[in-house]
Structure formats: C-alpha cells, structure tokens
C-alpha cells in the first residue's frame, strides 16, 4: 500500500519554513527513539503536492501522540494544549500550529453521530478520512522520512482534479462531508467525481442527521474561503443549501453581494458575521430566528441578525428626502456595523443607501468636544436632563451647527435658561 517509489524529501524541505522543518524532523526522530512513527497527514500533504503554502500541520503518530508532543516541547519554546478526551495535543510555535493525534480508526454507531475511536495503523487512519486527496501522509521517522503514503490513490485524483470519497457509505457516516466536498471542489477548481456526486445527491437527506453546531462549523469554514459564494451557488443548484434553509435562493444577485462584501472590507477579509447576514438577508424575522436556533449560532451573531432586521425596517425612514444627519444617527446608533453594511449591500431601498453610507463613513465616529462632566460643572446633576443636553450637543455637531467648544457650551447654557 505504501508507494515506496515516491519520496517527497525535497518538496518538504523546499516548501516548509526551515524552523518548522527542523521541528518536524525532531518530531520524527523523537518518535523513532520511542519506537513510534510520526507522519504529516491530510491537508498539508495535499497542498504540498499542489505547491500551495499551508503551515497548519497535522501529525499522526503510530504511538502516543500526547506523550510525544510533551517530550518535544521539553526542547523548544512553544505552548501546548492537550485534549485528553480525544488524545490529541496542539503545539503553537512561532505562529504555526502543529496538531498531534494518535493514528485511529473510527466507527459510526449511527449516521451523523460522533465516531467511536480505536487506535490503529497509519493506513487505517488514512482510510477513515473524507476524500482521497486528504488521505495521504508523509513519513517523518527513520528511513520513512519523506516517503509518501497514498493508500487511496489521492495523488492521481489530485492530478486529475477529482474529489472522491473513500467508500459508498461515507456521506451516510458523516454528511458534513457533503459541505466539505463542495468547499474543496470550489476552492481548488476541481470536480466532484461522477460516482461521488451520485452518492452525494442520494445522501442529501442525511444532512438532517447532523447537529446544527456541526453544520454551522462547516458553514463558517466556507466563509473563510476566498470565494464562499461559489460553494453556496453549487450547493443551491444541487439542493444541498435547501437543507440549510429551504427559503434561501442563492441566485446571481446574492453571489454579487458576497463579492461586494469583499470589496467593502478590503484589505481585510469580510467577517463571518457579514456573510451570515447576507446569506440570510431575505429571510423574514421568524425564519431567521428558526435558523439561529437550528444552528445554535452564538450570541454575537444572533444579535447581529436582529440588528440587521431592525435596520432593514428603517430603510424607508432613512430614505426620506431632507433627512438630517442627526436623524440618521438616531435611527442607526447602537446597531452593529455589520448589520448596517449588510443593508448597504443587500437593502432594496435604493434611496436609503446614501444615509447608510454617510453613517458608516462619518456620523458614527463623531463626538462632542464637551463631556458629561463639563455639563455637571455647570450645575446639572447626572440623570435624564444631562443626557438630553448631551444629545442636543451631539445633534448640533452632527448637523454642522457647532464648531468650537464654546459653541457647544452655548447650547447647554441656552437649554439651562429654557
Ligand atoms: P483546510 O485546508 O480546509 O484546512 P484540511 O484538509 O487541513 O483542510 P481539516 O478540517 O483541518 O482540513 O482536517 C484535517 C484532515 O482531517 C483532513 O485533511 C481530513 O483528512 C480529515 N478530516 C477532517 N474532517 C473530516 C471528516 N468530517 N471526515 C473525515 N475526515 C476528515
């Protein structure tokens, strides 16, 4: 099963940074001293063969991965996090993450359940994986250093641009692989191979067997891609998106929203929150709430969903002709910037866009010169009157009615006289 012909020593040493390579070599050596073997596995092997940079290293150990990680850390300055429950460890070293796991096989008690894990050989470990292109390893220990292990012919699929599962029950065991397959296909510009595609379509109903949290993890991974819209467009055409929410129609305009989100966030990548808001923009409030509870989305995202709906409800008001800056500010203050940006991108009240943009670019950052304590020194006690005065000063500043500190004080004085 091992392809003894293929040595990737050169590729390894040329593609990975020297310090990381030194660490990996010492991992291989230390494992050999312990009569164990360590391998680089998964995505990094795929990307090395494709000539792509990937410094998220997964190591599989035929032996005790956690003990090996601890021993290695003895020699270097890094931090270690251990997950006893999964028998895995992560070492963080100079901005790189190296994950250690004991080689294992997995069995599924029922579709969609988390697997039961038993220690196993490298080849068994590779055979439990999602796709052939992710089921390769490179040896690090002893004479196996640099050897490619490819029991499922991943290298050929990589050359031919194919996404292929390892056995016909793969999507039934774990239907999150459906989303993963679409993600790799679109990221790499590959094709899901014909038989895999047939099984994928057959097993779409299995997505109901997976928890909302696991699905939302996969969706978050899609949001980290360079072009998430390609994955959703494909998922929509295949009927996969339908399982996430039957009311989301991922059409051309939605694809353009995603591209616009990138333009507006440049040079940063758009936040996942903004993508979540765009994906669900056309859902009404009830459906959005159902979506939030199905996916168990964290508070930070669910609050942004609610903000987005509230801003959407204000678009007509924001499009009123002659609306003042302070009115715009009062309509939008307190809502999350992503909720406002989502409405700039996807809102269907064209006339509101100028107000939304003005708020984001200028108004939301504006402040009064004087503060509450300045007003208190003028004899006003903390409470609603003070708040009213501060608001009036801010409104005047937003509307360009004051320039200096004295102008602001004059407003307070005038209010004190009223
Ligand atoms: P990416 O480049 O997207 O990070 P990756 O291949 O490193 O890709 P991870 O999600 O970090 O992806 O997973 C690491 C490896 O674990 C994968 O390459 C694959 O071999 C395996 N794997 C991950 N998720 C699954 C799954 N649901 N079923 C089977 N194998 C999986």
Q: Which of 160, 181, 211 is the last residue of a domain?
A: 160
Tens of pLDDT, residue by residue over 16-66, are: 999 899 999 999 999 999 999 999 999 999 999 999 988 899 999 999 999
Q: Does ligand 1 have an atom closer than 6 angstroms to the CB of 185?
A: no
386 and 340 co-located in one domain:
no
Q: Which of 41, 43, 88 to mutate to test the pocket of ligand 1 (most atoms within 8 A of CB)?
A: 43
Whether 124 maps to a domain, the answer reads yes
Q: Is the dihedral of CA 144, 145, 151, 153 positive or negative?
A: negative
Q: Does ligand 1 have an atom closer than 6 angstroms to the CB of 177?
A: yes
Please give the C-alpha separations between residue 353 and each of 306, 316, 348, 357, in angstroms, as whole numbers.
Answer: 19, 10, 9, 6
357 and 385 co-located in one domain:
no
Residue 56 Cα: closest atom of ligand 1: 7
Domain count, the chain: 3
Q: DSSP per residue over 268-320, as a string?
A: SPPPHHHHHHHHTTTS-HHHHHHHHHHHT--HHHHHHHHHHHHHHHTHHHHT-
Residue of 209, 206, 204, 258 lying closest to 231 (CA atoms): 258
Whether 108 maps to a domain, the answer reads yes
Whether 253 maps to a domain, the answer reads no
Q: Whose CA is nearest to atom 10 of ligand 1?
A: 43
Whether 309 maps to a domain, the answer reads yes
Residue 177 Cα: closest atom of ligand 1: 27
326 and 379 co-located in one domain:
no
Q: Whose CA is nearest to atom 5 of ligand 1?
A: 43
398 and 304 co-located in one domain:
no
102 and 47 co-located in one domain:
yes
65 and 125 co-located in one domain:
yes
* Angle, CA of 149, 152 and 154, to the nearest 5°: 75
Q: Does ligand 1 have an atom closer than 6 angstroms to the CB of 130?
A: yes
Q: Which of 59, 97, 100, 129 to mutate to test the pocket of ligand 1 (most atoms within 8 A of CB)?
A: 129
Q: Does ligand 1 have an atom closer than 6 angstroms to the CB of 341?
A: no
Tens of pLDDT, residue by residue over 79-124, are: 999 998 888 999 998 888 999 999 998 888 888 888 888 888 999 9
Whether 33 maps to a domain, the answer reads yes
Tens of pLDDT, residue by residue over 181-238, are: 999 999 999 999 999 999 999 999 999 999 999 999 999 999 999 999 999 999 999 9
Please give the C-alpha separations between residue 5 and each of 61, 63, 146, 149, in angstroms, as whole numbers.
Answer: 22, 25, 11, 10
Tens of pLDDT, residue by residue over 344-378, are: 999 999 999 999 999 999 999 999 999 999 999 99
Q: Which of 108, 133, 160 is the last residue of a domain?
A: 160
Enclosing domain of residue 387: 372-417
């Amino acid at each position: 099963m091992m392809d003894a012909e293929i040595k990737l020593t050169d590729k390894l040493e040329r593609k990975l940074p020297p310090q990381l390579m030194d660490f990996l070599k010492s991992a291989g050596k230390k494992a050999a001293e312990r009569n164990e073997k360590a391998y680089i596995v998964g995505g990094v092997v795929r990307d090395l063969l494709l000539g792509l940079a990937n410094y998220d290293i997964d190591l599989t150990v035929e032996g005790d991965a956690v003990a090996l990680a601890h021993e290695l850390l003895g020699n270097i300055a890094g931090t270690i996090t251990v997950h006893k429950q999964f028998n895995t460890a992560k070492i963080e070293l100079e901005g790189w993450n190296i994950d250690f796991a004991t080689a294992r096989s997995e069995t599924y008690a029922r579709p969609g359940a988390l697997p039961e894990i038993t220690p196993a050989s490298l080849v068994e470990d590779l055979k439990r994986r999602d796709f052939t292109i992710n089921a390769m390893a490179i040896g690090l220990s002893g004479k196996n250093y640099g050897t490619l292990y490819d029991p499922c012919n991943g290298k050929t699929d990589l050359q031919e641009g194919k996404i292929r599962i390892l056995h016909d029950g793969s999507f039934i065991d774990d239907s999150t692989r459906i989303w993963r397959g679409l993600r790799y296909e679109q990221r790499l510009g590959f094709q899901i191979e014909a038989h895999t595609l047939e099984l994928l379509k057959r097993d779409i109903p299995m997505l109901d067997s997976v928890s909302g949290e696991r699905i939302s993890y996969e969706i978050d991974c899609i949001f980290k891609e360079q072009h998430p819209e390609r994955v959703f467009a494909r998922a929509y055409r295949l009927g996969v998106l339908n399982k996430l929410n039957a009311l989301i129609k991922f059409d051309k305009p939605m694809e353009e929203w995603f591209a616009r989100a990138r333009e507006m966030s440049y040079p940063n990548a758009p936040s996942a929150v903004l993508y979540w808001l765009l994906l669900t923009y056309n859902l009404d409030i009830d459906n959005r709430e159902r979506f939030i509870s199905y996916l168990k989305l964290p508070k930070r995202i669910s609050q942004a969903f609610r903000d987005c709906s509230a801003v959407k409800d204000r678009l007509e008001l924001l499009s009123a002709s002659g609306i003042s800056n302070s009115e715009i500010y009062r309509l939008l203050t307190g809502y999350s910037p992503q909720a406002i940006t989502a409405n700039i991108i996807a809102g269907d009240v064209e006339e509101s866009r100028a107000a939304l943009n003005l708020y984001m670019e200028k108004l939301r950052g504006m402040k009064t010169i004087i503060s509450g304590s300045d007003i208190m020194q003028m004899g006003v006690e903390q409470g609603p009157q003070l708040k009213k005065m501060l608001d009036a000063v801010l409104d005047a500043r937003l509307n360009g009615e004051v320039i200096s500190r004295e102008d602001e004080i004059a407003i307070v004085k005038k209010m004190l006289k009223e």
